[in-house]
């Protein structure tokens, strides 16, 4: 991979989607699609979700000026962020209703399951990607998980991933909620700025989502 490889492939990203981009050596690129395939076997929602999150995450990373190597780690982490759900029981992962407190604890463990799984890949940046996966549910005010990190203690890539993951999750129908419109999702997200989301990251997100190909179309 050239030092600017991730950035120079930016046009390809918009045209072809994250899963189609090849910015790194084949052995690196081949190190994780099987994990995505395995997760999709558990939860069919995941593939489209991860692709859209990847597009938005890279648009955000580009907008805040991440380095090429950080963009590459974010690109892979955005696709693998929920891979730890492989380790969550079906009756919890696929439950159509609200989770009980005990079930919620099992679901929350997907971030640390995912960290362990990514560390076992042959990715050259496995440590960096695993860290993003571990912390993708931290909250800006420290109320997130698994470590309760707050503010700038949370890696910037994780603050980006948190915002774009939440947007896409809300605008996509799931067994436990109907898909919200873009406007409804943005109203919910705005209410969580400063608590769940980094105000700076969210200000960038407002600009990015306004023109993103991954923005949910208005009905
Ligand atoms: Fe997650």
Complete domains list, the chain, with CATH: 26-211 (1.10.3210.10)
What is the pLDDT of the chain when averaged over all its residues?
85
Average pLDDT on 91-100 reads 90
Percent of the chain residues topping a pLDDT of 70: 83
The C-alpha atoms of residue 112 and residue 109 are separated, in whole angstroms, by: 6
Start-to-end Cα distance in the chain: 41
Task: Average the pLDDT over each of 21-30, 105-114, 147-156, 186-195 and give the range with the smallest value.
Answer: 21-30
* More confident position, 37 or 21: 37
Q: How far is the CA of 211 from the centre of ligand 1 (A)?
A: 25
Average pLDDT on 34-57 reads 82
**pLDDT value, residue 134:** 98
Residue 101 reports pLDDT greater than 80? yes
Q: How far is the CA of 202 from the centre of ligand 1 (A)?
A: 18
Banded model confidence at residue 8, pLDDT cuts 50, 70, 90: very low
Which residues sit with Cβ closer than 5 angstroms to ligand 1, an ion?
A: 82
| Whether 111 contacts 145, CB under 8 Å | yes
Banded model confidence at residue 27, pLDDT cuts 50, 70, 90: low
Q: How far is the CA of 69 from the centre of ligand 1 (A)?
A: 22
Q: How far is the CA of 104 from the centre of ligand 1 (A)?
A: 12
Q: How far is the CA of 132 from the centre of ligand 1 (A)?
A: 11
Query: Helix/strand/coil (H, E, C) string of the chain?
Result: CCCCHHHHCHHHHHHHCHHHCCCCCHHHHCCCHHHHHHHHHHCCCHHHHHHHHHHHHHHHHHHHCCCHHHHHHHHHHHHHCCHHHHHCCHHHHCCCCCCCHHHHHHHHCHHHHHHHHHHCCCCCCHHHHHHHHHCCCCCCCCCCCCCCCCHHHCCHHHHHHHHHHHHHHHCCCECCECCCCHHHHHHHHHCCECCCECHHHHHHHHHHHHHCCCCCCCC
Task: Average the pLDDT over each of 16-25, 56-65, 165-174, 188-197 and give the range with the smallest value.
Answer: 16-25
**pLDDT value, residue 18:** 55
Banded model confidence at residue 175, pLDDT cuts 50, 70, 90: low
Banded model confidence at residue 5, pLDDT cuts 50, 70, 90: very low
* Residues β-bridged to residue 197: 193
Q: Which of 144, 153, 151 is nearest to 201 (CA)?
A: 151
The model carries a pTM of 0.85
Average pLDDT on 84-110 reads 93
Q: How far is the CA of 165 from the centre of ligand 1 (A)?
A: 8
Q: How far is the CA of 213 from the centre of ligand 1 (A)?
A: 22
Residue 15 reports pLDDT greater than 50? no
Q: Which of 24, 32, 33, 31 is nearest to 4 (CA)?
A: 24
* Sign of the four-CA dihedral 45, 111, 95, 183: negative
């Amino acid at each position: 991979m050239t030092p600017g490889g991730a950035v120079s492939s930016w046009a390809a990203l918009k045209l072809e989607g994250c899963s189609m981009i090849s910015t790194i050596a084949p052995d690196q690129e081949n190190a994780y699609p099987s994990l995505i395939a395995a997760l999709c076997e558990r939860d069919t929602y995941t593939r489209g979700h991860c692709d859209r999150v990847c597009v938005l995450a890279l648009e955000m990373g580009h907008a805040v000026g991440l380095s090429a190597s950080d963009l590459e780690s974010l690109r892979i982490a955005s696709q693998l962020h929920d891979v730890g759900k492989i380790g969550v029981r079906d009756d919890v992962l696929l439950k159509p209703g609200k989770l009980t407190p005990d079930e919620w604890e099992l679901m929350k463990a997907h971030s640390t399951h995912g960290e362990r799984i990514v560390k076992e890949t042959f990715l050259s940046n496995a440590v960096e990607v695993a860290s993003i996966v571990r912390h993708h549910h931290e909250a800006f005010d420290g109320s997130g998980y698994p470590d309760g990190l707050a503010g700038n203690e949370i890696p910037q890539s994780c603050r980006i991933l948190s915002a774009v993951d939440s947007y896409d999750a809300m605008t996509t129908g799931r067994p436990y909620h109907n898909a919200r419109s873009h406007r409804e999702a943005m109203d919910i997200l705005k209410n969580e700025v400063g608590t769940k989301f980094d105000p700076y990251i969210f200000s960038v997100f407002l600009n990015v989502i306004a023109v993103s190909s991954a923005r949910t179309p208005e009905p």
